[in-house]
């Protein structure tokens, strides 16, 4: 069954920096991967969905990549802003005959003004 790991667990950077969040997964048969943002006490907001055939997906200052062969995905945030402070979660299909998503534990990001 799929296992998803996110590194680092927490990250604090000054405003304006470019940063990369990492996500690794064990099932290389993954057909897509989804990145979410979660603000404290709130639900999940979908940021990007990458299909295995796409390798990359962009939305504004966000760019996500997917490399099935290495079992890795990255979320690149350009020119970070204090409003980007949140927990970022990656998730992939659970696989192994199970439905639903398997989530990483998230990266808690703080952007210092």
Partner 1 sequence: DGGITQSPKYLFRKEGQNVTLSCEQNLNHDAMYWYRQDPGQGLRLIYYSQIVNDFQKGDIAEGYSVSREKKESFPLTVTSAQKNPTAFYLCASSYREFYGYTFGSGTRLTVV
Which residues here bind partner 1, judged by CB under 8 A?
31-32, 34, 36, 41-46, 49, 51, 89, 91, 93-94, 98-101, 103-106
Closest CA to 81 of 105, 56, 62: 62
Which of residues 15 and 38 has its CB atom nearest to partner 1 in the complex? 38
The residues facing 10 across adjacent strands are: 108
> Given its phi and psi angles, is residue 95 left (phi above 0), alpha (psi -120 to 50 degrees) or beta?
left
Dihedral Cα 77, 20, 46, 66, nearest 10 deg: 120
* CB 15, min distance to partner 1, A: 27
Which of residues 15 and 44 has its CB atom nearest to partner 1 in the complex? 44
* CB 37, min distance to partner 1, A: 11
Place of tokens 């990145």: 35
Which of residues 99 and 113 has its CB atom nearest to partner 1 in the complex? 99
Which of residues 45 and 112 has its CB atom nearest to partner 1 in the complex? 45
Handedness of CA 63, 67, 73, 79 (dihedral sign): negative
* CB 104, min distance to partner 1, A: 7
């Amino acid at each position: 069954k799929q296992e998803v790991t996110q590194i680092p667990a927490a990250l604090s950077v000054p405003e304006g920096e470019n940063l990369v969040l990492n996500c690794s997964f064990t099932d290389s048969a993954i057909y897509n991967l989804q990145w979410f943002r979660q603000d404290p006490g709130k639900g999940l907001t979908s940021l990007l969905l990458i299909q295995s055939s796409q390798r990359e997906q962009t939305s504004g200052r966000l760019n996500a990549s997917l490399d099935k062969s290495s079992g890795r995905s990255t979320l690149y945030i350009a020119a970070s802003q204090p409003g980007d402070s949140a927990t970022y979660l990656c998730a992939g299909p659970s696989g192994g005959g199970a439905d639903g998503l398997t989530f990483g534990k998230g990266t808690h990001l703080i952007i210092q003004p």
